[in-house]
Amino acid sequence: MIIVLFGPPGAGKGTQAERLVDKYQLKQLSTGDMLRDDIAKGSELGKKAKVIMDRGELVSDEIILSMIKEKIKNSEGNGFIFDGFPRNLDQAKALDKMLNELKLSLDLVIEIVVNDDILINRIEKRAQESQNARSDDNETVLKNRLNVYHQSTEKIKPYYLNQKKLVKIDGVRSIEQVSQDIEGHILNIGKQLS
Ligand code: ADP
């Protein structure tokens, strides 16, 4: 099973991805987490990425795609859950191509819908409450991350709608309710495949 969790910053993709990992033994591939690991290691790639992430812009497709390629070719198990990737149309097309070469394909793209005002509140709260707050969780950078989401990331939606893979869920509910909705959609894939 291969799933993309799609949605704006602060929509709860990371939280939901972790729950799916536990429930279905999927491997979570979060490009944001991979980049933050590289920053923590102090690698050259990490240093380059940090400048871009701290502005709320997108790291180059070249870096992102090589990270993903490495992870999907070396993986066994029940499948993957992508979180924070793809983030523009070129990444979406490149993902399809990579999966195709491995004779795999995406099953489902789940969009977690939350409006901008709620996201801004959530992230400001997360920044205040967290001891090791992310350096990109502040008002100016967040607004830029939201702009990038609306300008580039959301433009992927018609691509997945055409493939009949996109489903939307309301992300302004409890974590449990959102999870239940996601699981309902996952059960549906099972039905379509069998
Ligand atoms: P959020 O969804 O809250 O913005 P992420 O952890 O997914 O957080 O991403 C943090 C930052 O990492 C992004 O603002 C961007 O700079 C970079 N990034 C993560 N994933 C990608 C990607 N697929 N393509 C380009 N940049 C990315």
pLDDT per residue as tens digits for the range 78-95:
899 999 999 999 999 999
Average pLDDT over residues 32-48: 95
Q: Give the pLDDT confidence score for residue 78 in this predicted structure.
A: 86
In this structure, which residue's CA is closest to atom 4 in ligand 1? Answer: 9
Is the entire prediction scored with pTM above 0.95?
Answer: no
State yes or no: pLDDT of 44 exceeds 80. yes
Strands 80-83 and 2-6: parallel
For residue 31, report the distance from its CA to the centre of ligand 1, in Å.
6
For residue 191, report the distance from its CA to the centre of ligand 1, in Å.
33
Amino acid identity of residue 57, one-letter, is E
Q: What angle do CA 105, 29, 127 make, to 5 degrees?
A: 140
Rg (CA), the chain: 16
Amino acid identity of residue 155, one-letter, is K
Helix (H, G, I), strand (E, B) or coil at 57: coil
User: Which of 31, 36, 72, 139 for a ligand 1 pocket mutation test, highest count of atoms within 8 Å of Cβ?
Assistant: 31
Helix (H, G, I), strand (E, B) or coil at 5: strand
In this structure, which residue's CA is closest to atom 14 in ligand 1? Answer: 56
